[in-house]
Structures are given as structure tokens and as C-alpha cells.
Amino acid sequence: MRVLLPILCLLGLLAGSRAEDQPVWNLVAECQVVVLPQKVALPLLGDLLDETKIEAAYARIQEMIASGKAELVGNQIAKMPSGTRGVSETVEELKYATEFEPPSLPQNAPENIQALKEWPLTGITPTAFETRNTGVRLEVEATEESAGRQIFATVVCEHVRFLRWTKIDAGRLASGERLSVEQPIFHTAKSTCTLRLRTGQRVLLGVHKISGAADSLELFLLRITATRAGTP
């Protein structure tokens, strides 16, 4: 037993030393959200899906952004240690009512229908609200593999647009006038993928139509790189 204890202690020290020697990896995920005219985007899709051609196609898209022929909607960058979750978002909060108290007659209201028709309007009162984030959000959970050469990642990229307000029927007054409340209409483009990539590899994550813009497509372009912690 006296002999085993020093051996066990030595093995523990060696194991600890090996764990400390393991490199710590940091990951950087970048996702561009780009809107292109459909007639320009469709011919590019084949190259964007080809590993050997995507970088050239990406360079052409950057040129179009610089010249104003394409719109860069978002360029989200999330940094995280390997094996953890990173989030990057650029959003604007939109608060809107979700529950309402209907109009009610005051006390001692007249019973005469004609008098009720001429009664001053009592409005619908909001009683509860919700907040919706509009904008671009990138969420990544990724792990480095093969000494930083590969990355296994689960990625969610989402773009929420506020489109317009719409009126929803909320009843009728005694005068016959209809009541309504306004509610927001949103458009969401979302891509969720689980991928195994080479470090630095760029991929086309999603292609989406834009509500109200039939002649445009929205592209999600993703790249994730791995570097050792402390590497300049």
C-alpha cells in the first residue's frame, strides 16, 4: 500500500499535466444576411452550394454590396470557447397590446336607444402587452474537433421584419360604428442547421423569399473558424 500511494499520486500529476497541456480553442461564427435581386441571386446559388466555388461567389456578392447592387442587412459575429453557446443580435423592440378591456357603458346610462347612439365614445383599453424583437439574430453552439481542423455546430439564424399594422374587428357600437384594434404583422426568415465544417469553411445556410418583394431573395452566408486561445 505504501508503494501504491506514490504511484497513484504520480499518475494523478501526469493526468493533470496532460489536461493542462490540451489547447483551449476559441470559435468565431460570422453570418452575413444579404438581399439580392432574384435575377442575380438565382444564377449564384449553384456556385454558393459548391465548396470549390463558394468563395468566388462570395467575393462577387461583396462587390455588389459595395456598389449598391445588393443590400447587407446584417453581419452578425459571435465569439465563444469551444463547446459553448454564442449569440449575436441586432434588434429593435416593438411593443404591442395583446389583451383589451372592451368599452363599457358608464353608470346610470340611459335606456333610450337613441340616447345610447349619441353617447360619447368609450374606447377599448389595452390591458396586456408583448414585445417582439425585429432584426437579425445568430445563435451558435459549436465544438472544435480534430485539433481545430473541423467544427461541429448547431446554428440558428433568424431575421424578423415588421411589415405593417392591420386592423382587427373588435365589435360595434350602438350607433353602428365598428370598433377595431391594430395588431402588427411580422415576417420571419429562419434557418436551423446542424453541420460539420472545416475551420474557415463558408456555407450557404439559407435562402428565403421576402414578403412583399417577389423580385428579391435573402441569403444567409455562414463561416466558423477555430483558433487556439492566446493565438494572435
| pLDDT tens digit sequence for 131-174 | 999 999 999 999 999 888 999 999 999 999 999 999 887 776 65
How does the average pLDDT of the chain come out, rounded? 84
Residue 147 CB partners (closer than 8 Å, separation 6+): 23
Share of the chain above pLDDT 90, in %: 62
Domain definitions of the chain by residue range: 24-103+110-228
